[in-house]
């Protein structure tokens, strides 16, 4: 009788991928990155093991937002002091903090536990075209059209 293959953390083989986010909707970039970070694109996917790959996202400052999200979507942060609520629109985030905007989108699609935190550490986001991971020889992931 065959048994189901269960991968262990010692047998994980990790690759590096680059996603160019230019003119691609934020949700599409984030969901593709989260799938790769989790390892769900592999046939050896095991839910309780961090078997995902490394992801580099470039051109975070040129990511597209569909509909009325530039003015309507609001990012909230709180300092935990009275009156410490800070609100920023998606337009402000894309202009001033594009890396944080993409990182928040991807992090929200990962598991909310210690396994998800380990997966999140394999994500690298850059506002421009350049990244410092050329030595790892990352493969370019082709994303579909822009809508």
Mean pLDDT of the chain: 94
pLDDT tens for 30-68 read 999 999 999 999 999 999 999 999 999 999 999 999 999
Q: Is pLDDT of 147 > 70? A: no
pLDDT at 1: 73
| Domains (range + CATH), the chain | 14-66+97-141 (3.90.1180.10)
pLDDT at 36: 97
Tokens 């262990």 -> residue:
8
Whether pLDDT at 125 is above 80: yes
Say if pTM beats, i.e. exceeds, 0.85: yes
Which long-range contacts link 82-90 to residues 24+ away (Cβ below 8 Å)?
Answer: 90/65
Spatial separation of the C-alpha atoms in residues 126 and 112, rounded to whole Å = 23
Half-sphere exposure of 126 (CA within 13 A, CB side): 13
Tell me, what's the pLDDT at 143?
84
- Distance (Å) of CA 1 to CA 4, 5, 44, 66: 10, 13, 19, 51
Nearest CA to 19 out of 11, 28, 7, 10 is that of: 28
pLDDT number for residue 104: 97
Per the rule left: phi > 0, alpha: psi between -120 and 50, beta: everything else, 102 is alpha
- pLDDT tier at 144, thresholds 50, 70, 90: confident
Contact call for residues 51 and 35 (beta carbons, < 8 A): no
Reduce the DSSP state of residue 76 to 3 states and report it.
Answer: strand
């Amino acid at each position: 009788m065959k048994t189901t293959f269960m991968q262990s953390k010692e047998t994980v083989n990790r690759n590096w991928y680059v996603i160019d986010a230019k003119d691609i909707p934020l949700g599409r970039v984030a969901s593709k990155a989260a799938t790769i970070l989790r390892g769900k694109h592999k046939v050896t996917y095991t839910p309780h093991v961090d078997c995902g790959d490394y992801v580099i996202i470039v051109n975070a400052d040129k990511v597209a937002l569909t509909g009325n999200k530039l003015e309507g979507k609001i990012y909230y942060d709180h300092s935990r002091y009275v009156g410490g609520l800070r609100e920023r629109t998606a337009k402000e985030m894309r202009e001033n903090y594009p890396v944080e905007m993409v990182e928040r989108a991807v992090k929200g699609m990962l598991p909310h536990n210690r396994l998800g935190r380990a997966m999140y550490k394999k994500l690298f986001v850059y506002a421009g075209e350049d990244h410092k991971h050329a030595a790892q020889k990352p493969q370019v992931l082709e994303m579909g059209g822009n809508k």
